[in-house]
Amino acid sequence: MTTNTTADDLIQITQEGGVMTATFNRPEKKNALTHTMYEAMIDALEQAEAEPGVRVLCFRGAGGCFTSGNDLKDFLGNPPSDPKNSPVMRFLHALIDMKKPLAAAVQGPAIGIGATMLLHCDLVIAAPDAVFQMPFTKLALCPEAGSSYLLPRVVGTTRALSLLLSSQSLDAATAAQWGLVTEVASTDQFDAVVTERLNALAALPPEAVRTAKALVRDPERDAAHEAVNREAAQFLQRLMSAEAAEAMQAFLERRQPDFSRFE
């Protein structure tokens, strides 16, 4: 197994056989993602795509947490000067364009981008304690990562709206029932199941696997890119809104936001 770390060790890249793993390695902050971490994940995607020996790339989180989503302090303190070419946007478009299989091994919270990025993964294995949430309206924001387009196609329009409008949480069993998760593996067998599934995928004929993925993903690729761009434009407007200012301030002050004055 080969190991290297990037972004000051915040993203750990390991490779064993044909499986490359990118681990969010910021457990003390519940693996909240920063701009620097997005840059490192873009590098991981490009490396996995370019290296013939890599058959599948898997995302994981350290410390029993997948990721709590974007680091709000980092994003508010360092707004992108060129939103279209920001690390987040480049990461999302790279996910859509990835030709090799993408996988995720999810333990604990998968919040915001931690949940929406799973829509671009071809294999998602969850532990029983996994919790999925897309809390965009709660933060006075809007869906991202192409979720406004892809989520209804995965779970159905009614269920997608229930997740995106109410910011409700979803447990692992329900996520599997709805199709957001491939399977739920027991806690004591989680690592073994993840390893078995990834190694089985990596052992298959690589060109045949890429072809199968392309036949499923390519018809929706352009629409997914368009959804990411459309959401980003709305996201920036929402981020500058008075509602978002109240939501962010309440979050930082650890209090409930008050939206009663808004119409």
Residue 242 is assigned to a structural domain of this protein: no
Domain that holds residue 164: 2-186
Nearest to 7 by CA among 89, 63, 71: 71
Nearest to 92 by CA among 229, 212, 237: 229
User: Which CATH number goes with the domain that contains 171?
Assistant: 3.90.226.10
pLDDT of residue 78: 74
For residue 22, being part of any structural domain is answered with yes
Choose among 228, 130, 134: nearest CA to 185: 130
Classify residue 143: in a domain, yes or no: yes
* pLDDT score of 8: 60
pLDDT by residue, tens only, the chain of 263 residues: 555 545 468 999 999 999 999 999 999 999 999 999 999 999 999 999 999 999 999 999 999 999 999 987 777 777 666 667 889 999 999 999 999 999 999 999 999 999 999 999 999 999 999 999 999 999 999 999 999 999 999 999 999 999 999 999 999 999 999 999 999 999 999 999 999 999 999 999 999 999 999 999 999 999 999 999 999 999 888 988 999 989 988 888 889 999 999 88
Question: Does residue 240 fall inside a structural domain?
Answer: no
> What pLDDT, on a 0 to 100 scale, did the predictor assign at position 81?
61
Length of the chain measured in residues: 263
- Phi/psi of residue 105, nearest 5 degrees: -115, 110
Query: How many structural domains comprise the chain?
Result: 1
The answer to whether residue 32 sits within a structural domain is: yes
> Does 259 map to a domain?
no
Which pLDDT score is estimated for 1?
56
pTM of this structure: 0.93
Please tell me what DSSP assigns to residue 71. Answer: -
Which of 208, 249, 238, 254 has the alpha carbon at shortest distance from 55?
Answer: 208
Residue 48 in tokens: 């996995």
The one-character DSSP state at 33 is B
The three-class DSSP label of residue 67 is strand
Residue 194 inside a domain? The answer is no
Cβ neighbours, 10 Å, residue 67: 28
For the beta carbon of residue 4, count every other beta carbon within 10 angstroms: 11
* Type and span of the H or E element at 263: none
